[in-house]
Structure 1
Amino acid sequence: MGWKHSTGIACRRLFSILPRCCRQLPPPQTMTTPPTSCIIPEPSPLAEANPLILVVDDVAANLRILRSLLGQTNYRLSFASSGQQALERAQAAHPDLILLDLMMPGMDGLEVCKRLKQDAQTADIPIIFLTASQEIEHVVDAFQEGAVDYVTKPFRAQELLVRIKTHLDLTQLRQRAQRRAVQEEILRQVVVGIHGSLDLKEILNQAIAGIHVLLQADRVLICQHLSGDKPPGAQWQMVTSSSGEFPPEIKFAATLTTQHLSVDDSEFLDPDDALWLQETQTAAELRSPIFMGQDFWGTLLIQYQRPRCWGGEAALARPIVAQLEIAIHQAQLYRQLADTVGQLETVNHELTRLSNLDGLTQIGNRRFFDTQFQQEWARSLREKQPLTVILADVDYFKNYNDTYGHLEGDRCLKIIAHVLGKAPRRTTDVVARYGGEEFVMVLANTDETGAEHVALRVQELLHQLNLPHISHQSSPCVTISLGIATAIPTQSMHPMDLIDRADKALYQAKADGRNRYKIAPRSDLDGATAQEN
């Protein structure tokens, strides 16, 4: 299978996950035709246009009044004088909002609204009814058919304008939320695909397929650097391309930082870069370095044939590049394994470590915890020794993220992971990220007293750091809540019983005000209320 064909398959798989409201074209047969109708990246400011409003009324005088009023705004306007004409223009122009008269001969406003809402292409367009009718039945019917608002004539001009702006703003917020959901799903699928293979070609094809769909680029290229560990004087090897085509000669100035290039700034470009954009018929290019560990590995190039005002493209591509770097590292390790049988044990150990490592906090991940917990449970069962699980959750972490941003939120989680790693005294104790802002510790041969010492040490270490948290509801600093459960395993017990009791104790700690720990009663395996501490 050629790279062009395999990349096209990856792109079609990604395209298939888009919700119906976010795609209007069939999956692309090759990577040369991106799905331009997908609502995925933040729209480029260069392509933004003022909202289009379709005004529907069978009375010409009413249309003239609305034209005069809305003509004073920045809205683009389209008009229809019948229900059928309104349907045709809504299909053709796809307006951002429709002002619809209720009472019209032939097809009335309610029927027009009903048909628009039944069509997937127009179902999401907000509709405001304009009518002289004061009957409550008409108001109810309008909302039942899907209208977002109802304004009676004669209307107040300022009120109508405010209502129009409100619903346009709400639509924009909804579209942003849909767009973000699609972005996150594509990112998830790409990461799964990248880590689903140890073959470098497959990994790179998965990456460019995801970027191609996510950013709706005209072409995505990955070039490997061949001349040492520094970009200046770079020699390049084209590794893969979304179009399946490769420039005859690769020559551009490489850097160690992300760059945005545009033909509009040609007088400020490096001569090699200007020539590169010209020869590849590229109007705008996003260039991102790829590292393998500390070494410069290559460059990702995202190209557009039309001029572009850059928005959040670099931020969207960054997590894929980060996962790509890890995957390239894994692929290189696997290649070494295949080439050198004597390195088998070392390479396998590294792959296992990476698969059990949480990428953000650099402690064990959920998979690592599941494996270690089962082993410790079996050992404690054989030796008839107590086993303790401590679940820890960062208090008001969502507020922290909302206040300081996700980058600071990630930094906070790294610090928490470091604190939890220092709290136990033994190297055999297990510390892992359980999910989100929740962490877990497994302490073998440890009873409630020993677990309490560990919990107190966690809170003491965190308190010493004095991490600011202005959106905390009861403390000026970051705090943590912990739930503790201890048991001596028996054949009649299930391992999940212990985790469930720790979770209930954690819930009790948070319910009692957070920034504390609770110990679940050992004798109660069905999750009674945690003891006070």
Structure 2
Amino acid sequence: MNLPQPIETAAAKILVVDDDGFMRMQLRVYLQKEGHRVELATNGEEALTKFAEIKPEVVLLDAVMPVMDGFACCQALMKIYQNPSPLVLMITGLDDEASVDRAFEAGAIDYVTKPIHWAVLRQRVKRLLYQNRLQHQLESVNQMLERLAKVDQLTQLANRRQLELFLDTEWSEAIREQYPFSILLCDIDYFKNYNDHYGHQGGDDCLQQVAKALTRVVHRPKDLAARYGGEEFLIVLPNTDLQGAIHIGEDIQAEITRLAIPHVQSAIADHVTLSIGCASTIPRLGSDWGKLVGAADQYLYEAKAQGRNRLVSGR
């Protein structure tokens, strides 16, 4: 698991919006000394255009300006950019409570008053950047954890938990829409022999190659390839009838044959092969997907009994 890099608060892109030319220059010089990249705008309308062009991390926005004031500009930014919302630090000479409330109601994260106390501005910009980057880092970690909870780490396919959640959702939809639903249950032939001969690292490499082959064949948005357990893989094919599922199963076997993964301990071939059980149905109200998986498992058993390296199907 690759953790996010440590949070840095330097070198942010900052948009300064102020109708006072001297104030703009002061802010630019000060912020550049702090290591930031600074763009300038003279009013709210120009700020909206600049924001769209450069996507700054922080906007220092004067409250009182001609054409479009800071409050209106801030509201417009929040309306246009909602995920994530811009970080707006309002700069105002109006230090009364009503103006402060209005700044926050418009969407500002914080404010400073004129004349600017530079140490205060520095700390507030630094805090905004830190909090924003910390939030992004936490979101990144949460996404990583969510993915880890759904993915088999060896094969990078869906794990058993994600498979069952997917089956629950898609089965219910198939009941509502009354379309066919198919399952392929795949098993690597003589995999124990493979592990015994090539070692567990070799076995892991084999599983990974087979998993990649499955993803090359099973690529429709509605379909799912999952590691079912050990050397077994389960393919869920919503809105696919029996003939369509058989065709996909045959494509999978052809892809595995094309890989030609050596397997000197196989009793049927000199390369890795798959046995596949294929079952299909149109789900009915009150039914559950467990019976269909059980049927695919039975057909897989028959494929093995018939000599392996084959697909056996039925309804």
Tell me the TM-score normalized by structure 2: 0.56
Report what 1:487 is aligned to. 281
Report what 1:387 is aligned to. 181
Distance 1:420 1:348 in 2: 28
1:404 aligns with 2:171: no
Distance 2:234 2:131 in 1: 33
* Correspondence 1:203-218 to 2 at 5 A: none
Aligned residue identity for 1:455: G
> Cα deviations across residues 106-148 of structure 1 (Å, max 9, x unaligned)?
xxxxxxxxxxxxxxxxxxxxxxxxxxxxxxxxxxxxxxxxxxx
1:457 aligns with 2:262: no
Report what 1:438 is aligned to. 232
Is contact 1:479–1:515 with CA below 8 Å preserved after alignment?
A: yes
1:355 Cα deviation (Å)? 1.2
**CA-based RMSD:** 2.4
Report what 2:38 is aligned to. none
Identity %, equivalent residues:
43
Aligned residue identity for 1:404: Y
SS at match of 1:491: coil
1:404 Cα deviation (Å)? 1.0
1:348 Cα deviation (Å)? 2.6
1:337–1:399 distance in 2 versus 1, CA, 3 Å:
farther
Report what 2:270 is aligned to. 476
Q: 2:146 aligns with which of 345, 348, 352?
A: 352
Distance 2:275 2:133 in 1: 49
Aligned residue identity for 1:400: Y
User: Where do 5+ consecutive residues of structure 1 fail to align?
Assistant: 1-194, 201-225, 227-335, 523-533
* Correspondence 1:63-142 to 2 at 5 A: none
Distance 1:339 1:469 in 2: 50
Distance 2:290 2:236 in 1: 13
1:345 Cα deviation (Å)? 4.5
1:505–1:451 distance in 2 versus 1, CA, 3 Å:
same
Q: How many residues align?
A: 189
Distance 1:348 1:374 in 2: 24
1:493–1:338 distance in 2 versus 1, CA, 3 Å:
farther
Distance 2:199 2:215 in 1: 25
Report what 1:364 is aligned to. 158
> Cα deviations across residues 467-489 of structure 1 (Å, max 9, x unaligned)?
11111011111100011111111
1:456 Cα deviation (Å)? 0.7
1:478–1:389 distance in 2 versus 1, CA, 3 Å:
same
1:490–1:398 distance in 2 versus 1, CA, 3 Å:
same
> Cα deviations across residues 62-86 of structure 1 (Å, max 9, x unaligned)?
xxxxxxxxxxxxxxxxxxxxxxxxx
SS at match of 1:381: helix
Is contact 2:182–2:278 with CA below 8 Å preserved after alignment?
A: yes
1:338–1:470 distance in 2 versus 1, CA, 3 Å:
farther
1:337 Cα deviation (Å)? 10
1:410 Cα deviation (Å)? 0.5
Is contact 1:337–1:343 with CA below 8 Å preserved after alignment?
A: no
Report what 2:171 is aligned to. 377
Distance 2:257 2:135 in 1: 49
1:338 Cα deviation (Å)? 11
1:343 Cα deviation (Å)? 5.2
Distance 1:409 1:363 in 2: 16
Q: 2:296 aligns with which of 493, 497, 502?
A: 502
1:452–1:337 distance in 2 versus 1, CA, 3 Å:
farther
Is contact 1:391–1:483 with CA below 8 Å preserved after alignment?
A: yes
1:337–1:500 distance in 2 versus 1, CA, 3 Å:
farther
Is contact 2:171–2:288 with CA below 8 Å preserved after alignment?
A: no
Is contact 2:249–2:311 with CA below 8 Å preserved after alignment?
A: yes
Aligned residue identity for 2:190: Y
1:382 Cα deviation (Å)? 1.0
Report what 2:222 is aligned to. 428
Report what 1:282 is aligned to. none
Tell me the TM-score normalized by structure 1: 0.34
Distance 2:271 2:252 in 1: 14
Distance 2:284 2:202 in 1: 43
Aligned residue identity for 1:405: G
Distance 2:206 2:131 in 1: 36
1:408 Cα deviation (Å)? 0.6
Distance 1:345 1:444 in 2: 32
1:340 Cα deviation (Å)? 3.1
1:344–1:386 distance in 2 versus 1, CA, 3 Å:
farther
Report what 1:416 is aligned to. 210
1:425 Cα deviation (Å)? 4.1
Distance 1:380 1:459 in 2: 27
Is contact 1:337–1:347 with CA below 8 Å preserved after alignment?
A: no
SS at match of 1:401: helix
* Correspondence 1:256-275 to 2 at 5 A: none
Is contact 1:337–1:344 with CA below 8 Å preserved after alignment?
A: no
Report what 1:231 is aligned to. none
Distance 2:257 2:162 in 1: 28
1:427 Cα deviation (Å)? 2.8
* Correspondence 1:291-330 to 2 at 5 A: none
1:351–1:501 distance in 2 versus 1, CA, 3 Å:
same
1:400 Cα deviation (Å)? 0.5
1:463 Cα deviation (Å)? 0.7
